[in-house]
Amino acid sequence: MTESTATSPEVAERIAQVEDLPDDLRAEIVARREAGTTLAELKANFPQVAPDVIRDVLPPANARERKARAKKDVEKNAQTGQPDSSTPKAPTTATGPATPAETAPRYVADEDVVRELAAGITSARVAGFSRASLAELLGMTGRNAIWRTEVAGKVQADEVDPIRKLLARIKSGELKPPERRAAGAGGSKPPREKRDVLKAKLDAVTQWFHLYEDELEPESRDALAAIVGAPKSEEDEEEKE
């Protein structure tokens, strides 16, 4: 004689799919899990919900469980004929698939603009501004835009207008160079501001010397060459011999 086991009404009414789980019951399960209730305790506290459903409504506990969920979703979608929601698709427009946006160049490619700004900064330094004071007036903290533009010849697109406006204010006389502090008690070095001005002037002389070297008289060329550290021409050496 074969015994048959009757199915209890509670098991017969068990929720077997996530879609059939009411929102309030789902929220209660997730809240208890976040409060520290173990998965085994949740299964015991919610016998009307299938264990797989309880596991599926809870957030993945780790990367392995997350991958397993994704694989399960792919298999489920393949059986039902639904597209895989785990794989992002490229957005499309009325004219077709979207194309990747072109990356804008980091620095301005127009050499004339770079030279214009670099020369303006050098002139401001000759007038008594240091790079530090110019950077402070520019207000772009952490960028080192003044040094990069003048020395490295690199300026970003969003720096062009602010630097131009700053140089225009200096040229119009609206901004004055900072006051020079007196030399230290030892008097061995001039103030930092004065040294910056002298260096700016030397840079300007160096640039001028390399531009007009061929047009200078031999005596003037030798004198300037000694100042800027340039070698004397072979013709001058031969004349002396």
Q: Are the C-beta atoms of 221 and 236 separated by less than 8 Å?
A: yes
Both tokens assigned to 54: 């309880």
Range of the domain at 143: 111-178
Last residue of a domain, one of 50, 72, 94: 72
209 with 174, same domain: the answer is no
Among 11-15, 79-83, 86-90, 169-173, top mean pLDDT goes to: 169-173
Residue 122, domain member (yes or no): yes
Q: Which pLDDT score, from 0 to 100, does residue 155 have? A: 92
Please report whether residue 16 resides in a domain.
Answer: yes
Q: Write down the pLDDT at residue 6.
A: 42
List the single range of 81-95, 121-135, 191-205 with lowest mean pLDDT.
81-95
What distance in Å separates the CA atoms of residue 199 and residue 124, rounded to the nearest whole number?
Answer: 12
Q: Which of 23, 45, 72 is the last residue of a domain?
A: 72
Query: Per DSSP, what are the bridge partners of residue 15?
Result: 49
Residue 142: its pLDDT value, please?
A: 76
**Helix %, strand %, coil % for the chain, to 5?**
60, 0, 40
Res. 3 pLDDT band, cuts 50 70 90? very low
Asked if residue 10 has pLDDT above 60, the reply is no
Both 163 and 202 in one domain: the answer is: no
Q: Per the domain annotation, does 89 fall within a domain?
A: no
In a domain, residue 5? The reply is: no
- Tell me whether residue 117 is in a domain: yes
Asked, for residue 137, whether it belongs to a domain, the answer is: yes
Of the three residues 149, 178, 207, the one that is the final residue of a domain is: 178
Tell me: do 202 and 172 sit in the same domain: no
At 4, is the pLDDT very low, low, confident or very high (cuts 50, 70, 90)?
Answer: very low
pLDDT digits (tens, 9 = 90+) for 159-192: 999 999 999 999 999 999 888 665 555 555 556 6
Give me the number of domains the chain comprises. Answer: 3
Instruction: Judge whether 183 lies within some domain.
Output: no
Question: How many whole angstroms separate alpha carbon 36 and alpha carbon 196?
Answer: 65
The reply to whether 136 falls in a domain is yes
Give the pLDDT confidence of 110-168 residue by residue, as tens digits: 999 999 999 999 999 998 999 888 998 998 877 788 999 988 889 999 999 999 999 99
Q: If you search the block for the tokens 């006051």, which residue do you land on? A: 179
Let me know how many helices (H) and strands (E) the chain has, helices first.
Answer: 12, 2
Average pLDDT value over all residues in the chain:
75
Q: What is the per-residue pLDDT for 214?
A: 66
Same domain for 210 and 174, yes or no, is: no
Does residue 96 come out as left (phi exceeding 0), alpha (psi in the -120 to 50 range) or beta? left
